[in-house]
Amino acid sequence: MKTIYVVRHGQAEGQEPGAKLTENGVQQAARLVSFFGGRQVDCILSSPFKRAYSTILPLARQRGIQIQTDERLAERVLSGGSHPEWREMLRRTYDDLDLCWEGGESGRAAMKRAAAVVEEVLNSHYTSAVLVSHGNLISLLLKLYDDRIGFAEWERLTNPDVYQLSFRDELPEIQRIWNP
């Protein structure tokens, strides 16, 4: 069996790639170290966005594991511009995974890149990995394995959040294990 922990980054100062963790986000990152205390972790892969990398850095240091950044774990771009109705736009992309707003990425395309990271971990020698990413991409990855997951589940994600994917067969058992 292989286990993949999917971690949403801690509370951040903004959405841009260089946004730092807030003071609360720094404390959340420290809490993740004790949260993972009794769990095996063989490798850590992270979005290159600062808030994701900074969220898992304390655990990586404590375990002596080098973080591998992977562009495929970066935040999904919904559209090329700023829109006041972005939440409704996002909701619609869960109903139509091929819907792609101008300058953005479809839900299906985002799922595909996240799934490629998971497949590489499953085909590696690692038995337990941590993937650190962003709420929209994480919810789409979970939806790939359980179609009941959608916009409402995205709305319920917390910063941070942790899901455990246990692979015995092709479809994993999905369990939310973070208790905020």
Domain ranges of the chain: 2-76+106-176
Give the Cα-Cα-Cα angle 69, 27, 128 (nearest 5 degrees): 40
Structural domain 2-76+106-176, CATH architecture: 3-Layer(aba) Sandwich (3.40)
> Is pLDDT of 136 > 80?
yes
Specify the pLDDT at position 131. Answer: 98
List, for residues 79-132, the tens digit of each pLDDT value: 998 899 999 999 999 999 999 999 999 999 999 999 999 999 999 999 999 999
Q: How does pLDDT run across 3-39, given as a tens digit for each residue?
A: 999 999 999 999 899 999 999 999 999 999 999 999 9
- Residue 26: what pLDDT? 98
Q: How many residues does the chain have?
A: 180
- In this predicted structure, what is the pLDDT of residue 31? 97
Per residue in 143-163, pLDDT tens? 999 999 999 999 999 999 999
CB 134 within 8 A of CB 49: yes
- Residue range 44-86, pLDDT digits in tens: 999 999 999 999 999 999 999 999 999 999 999 999 988 999 9
3-class SS string, 17-50: CCCCECHHHHHHHHHHHHHCCCCCCCEEEECCCH
Q: Provide the β-strand partners of residue 175.
A: 164
Which residue, 159, 111, 107, 138, is CA-closest to 4?
138
pLDDT value of residue 171: 84
